[in-house]
Amino acid sequence: MPAILTKIREQASRVQPSIALGVGVGVALAACAVYGTREKKQVPPCNNNNNYKVTKNGNLHAVDNGTTKETCGGRCGAEQCALCRGEVDTDNKQNIEDADETQSVEEHVPGLNLEFLRQLVTLARIMVPGFRSHEVALLSVHTLCLFSRTFLSIYVASLEGSIVKHIVQKDMRSFAALLLQWFGIAIPATFINSMIRYLESRLALAFRTRLVNHAYELYFKNQTYYRVANLDARIENADHRLTEDVSVFTQSVAHLYSSLTKPCFDLLLIVLTLASYSSKMKGNIFIGPGIATVVICLTGQVLRLLSPRFGALAGEEARMRANLRHVHSSLIAHAEEVAFYGGHKVELGQLQSAYKELVAQMTSVFNKKLWYVMLEQFCMKYVWSGTGMVMLALPILTGTRDGSTGESISARTEYMTTSRNLLNSAADAIERLMSSYKVRYFV
């Protein structure tokens, strides 16, 4: 303002000194009057006419200062609002206050508990809305294929035992007929295996579609997308959670169904079949299964106690991967500003820091898995195999059947071959059940 008045006076002085003096005084008086009027001018009232504070979850709550509420001394004449106090920061989240700073945040450890089951039931109602839905039809066909695969496994095991029996008896004609039958049963068996994987993928895709549609409706309801990005710092990387996390979850749920249904049905039928074969050998049918049950329970308890928290490790690595992608996407979105202000060194440091955190987490997981996988392989491969040999040997060693004839030798050979295949299938079923109980690190 002084510079403008000086220029006006200089221009006026070139015309006439008295006129210049009068113009200068007049302009000065006019400027003072305008300035005084601007100080007394009333601005329109602010629409945010409540005395609010912004909490961490993006909501507003009223602030009571006693008998009267604070009045805004700045941009509005109404009661003091959060916008006028400068507590609303839509560009960054530095000024967002915590709703309750006195409460301590408890660490959430994922696991198989009541909360997990409650959340799983809630999500299952979204993924399978009714009995007449498309997902129920897929589940029915998938269950039928799983049961069919169990019967085929038992039939193939008995067929292989019969083939070995006729090889020992040197019966060429029966051996050729059974071999052709074995190749014939391989066609439906391979089709059922492929169908199980196909239906599992279709189930995962159907579950993902239901969850994505439900999540999108909530994401765009009441401007939730804006609140999550600018007002609420509890949910980080919402784009990653709506895409990658939903996909991984639905694949895990679809795989979990087949990993629980088929092993339970396998164990039931395989135990009954082994008992019938042991009865044919006139051996004790309770000693072997009893020993196997004790060994499996002991090894399962040891593995459960010594197992790292794979669920927490997987969640932490997923968070770090999402953070690394978020830094990359942020750099791409603000590339022009970074280049203009020369902030490439800062962005490079953030990228390197995010990557180093991910590498440190993955290295820690690899170190923990080294010794656990060693223990797991020792228990499931060697301890269980030795127990299986004891189970197969007990009916023969303790049986009362005469074993001096060739027919008895071939029968024992058939029993050993069939029972070994069935025990391998049972061990695989138990291993899948134990792997389903713990959250696998590698999907």
| pLDDT greater than 70 at residue 37 | no
Binned at pLDDT 50, 70 and 90, residue 266 comes out as confident
**Distance in angstroms (rounded) separating the CA atoms of residues 109 and 114:** 13
The DSSP H or E segment spanning 52 is: strand 52-54
pLDDT tens digits for range 357-370: 999 999 998 998 88
**Distance in angstroms (rounded) separating the CA atoms of residues 191 and 145:** 10
Mean pLDDT along residues 128-133: 87
**Distance in angstroms (rounded) separating the CA atoms of residues 46 and 195:** 64
| pLDDT greater than 80 at residue 96 | no
| DSSP codes joined into one string, 160-229 | HHHHHHHHHTT-HHHHHHHHHHHHHHHHHHHHHHHHHHHHHHHHHHHHHHHHHHHHHHHHTGGGHHHIII
| pLDDT greater than 60 at residue 95 | no
User: What's the confidence (pLDDT) of residue 438?
Assistant: 59
Binned at pLDDT 50, 70 and 90, residue 144 comes out as very high
| pLDDT greater than 60 at residue 50 | no
| pLDDT greater than 60 at residue 115 | yes
| Helix boundaries (H) for 334-343 | 335-341
| pLDDT greater than 80 at residue 375 | yes
Q: How many residues appear in the chain?
A: 443
Farthest CA pair distance, the chain? 144
| pLDDT greater than 60 at residue 86 | no
**423 vs 211: which has the higher pLDDT:** 211
Whose structure tokens read 């295949």? 421
**Distance in angstroms (rounded) separating the CA atoms of residues 260 and 432:** 8
Whose structure tokens read 């009045």? 71
User: What's the confidence (pLDDT) of residue 437?
Assistant: 63
User: What's the confidence (pLDDT) of residue 263?
Assistant: 85
The DSSP H or E segment spanning 356 is: helix 344-377
CB 415 within 8 A of CB 423: no
Return the exposure string of 190-222: e unless at least 16 CB atoms fall within 10 Å of the residue's CB, then b.
eebeebbeebbebbbebbbebbbeebeeeeeee
Task: Determine the residue type at 113.
Answer: N
Q: Output the CA–CA distances (angstroms, integers) from residue 256 to 32, 59, 253, 415, 438, in the order listed.
A: 79, 38, 5, 33, 11
Q: Which residues on adjacent β-strands are paired with residue 54?
A: 60
Mean pLDDT along residues 316-328: 89
Residues of the chain with pLDDT > 90, as a percent, come to: 12
| pLDDT greater than 60 at residue 2 | no
User: What's the confidence (pLDDT) of residue 91?
Assistant: 42
| pLDDT greater than 50 at residue 78 | no
Q: How many CB atoms lie within 10 A of CB 396?
A: 17
pLDDT tens digits for range 272-300: 888 887 777 777 777 877 888 888 888 88
Mean pLDDT along residues 104-110: 51
| pLDDT greater than 90 at residue 11 | no
**Class of residue 299 by CB neighbours under 10 A (exposed 0-12, middle 13-18, buried 19+):** buried
Closest residue by Cα to residue 321 from 310, 329, 331:
329
pTM of the shown model: 0.58
Domain residue spans in the chain? 2-40, 43-88, 114-280, 282-400
User: What's the confidence (pLDDT) of residue 405?
Assistant: 59
| DSSP codes joined into one string, 266-327 | HHHHHHHHHHHHHHHTT--SSHHHHHHHHHHHHHHHHHHHH---HHHHHHHHHHHHHHHHHH
Task: Give the 3-state secondary structure of residue 339.
Answer: helix
| pLDDT greater than 60 at residue 30 | no
User: What's the confidence (pLDDT) of residue 413?
Assistant: 82
Q: Which of 44-58, 82-96, 360-374 has the highest mean pLDDT?
A: 360-374
